[in-house]
Amino acid sequence: AQSVVAIVGRPNVGKSTIFNRIVGERMAIVEDTPGVTRDRLFGEGEWLGRRFHVIDTGGIEIGDEPLLVQMREQAHLAITEADVILFVVDGREGLTGADEEVAQMLYRSKKPIVLGVNKIDNPDRIQNLYEFYSLGLGEPIGISGAHGIGVGDMLDACVSHF
Ligand code: GDP
Ligand code: MG
């Protein structure tokens, strides 16, 4: 069976942007289909000749629950379904309490976690990576989903856990 990478993180960190980068044009037709939501949940990626499934847990809405409850549910889903969890944080905004809460859940799961610090659009922002070491999830990988920077390194890290 193909490995599953689940993308987790609070809203607006760039999960869907990164999902689209990974899945690429492969799914482009689906977006033009009427009635299909813009945020796709499932896709297929390929890196270094390995195909894998990708889930954007941010696209899963669980009723009218408060944000933190939704994030817990999304993280829980990722923990149960994924072989590798891609935890995305926002390197422009910095570390938040919600990030720390999700990180604790992920940490306890013992699943392999890749920590992607998004919105590192230029070298000036690399210093923003350092505070994320405090999450205890290993080396933060600076990426820019919008510009495609660092995405290869991030996928190398994901594939290394398959
Ligand atoms: P999600 O809610 O986590 O799925 O986040 P989205 O992918 O919808 O992105 C939220 C916002 O951040 C959008 O306005 C994106 O254009 C922006 N964004 C995503 N990735 C980057 C990035 O690498 N750099 C910058 N500057 N903005 C980004
Ligand atoms: Mg999204």
CA–centroid distance for 50 within its chain: 18
Atom of ligand 1 at shortest distance to CA of 17? 7
Which superfamily, per CATH, for 3-159?
A: P-loop containing nucleotide triphosphate hydrolases (3.40.50.300)
Ligand nearest to the CA of 13: 1
Q: What would the pLDDT profile of 23-77 be if each residue is shown by its tens digit?
A: 986 554 445 555 544 556 889 999 999 999 999 998 776 677 888 888 888 899 8
Tokens at residue 52, please?
A: 């894998």
Ligand nearest to the CA of 89: 1
Q: What is the whole-number distance in angstroms between the Cα of residue 7 and the centre of ligand 1?
A: 14
Q: Are 59 and 7 in contact (CB under 8 A)?
A: no
Q: What would the pLDDT profile of 96-112 be if each residue is shown by its tens digit?
A: 999 999 999 999 998 99
Q: What is the pLDDT of residue 30?
A: 47
Q: Which of 7, 8, 17, 22 to mutate to test the pocket of ligand 1 (most atoms within 8 A of CB)?
A: 17
Q: What would the pLDDT profile of 116-140 be if each residue is shown by its tens digit?
A: 999 999 999 999 999 999 999 999 9
Q: What is the pLDDT of residue 85?
A: 97
Alpha-carbon gap, residue 64 to 72, rounded angstroms: 14
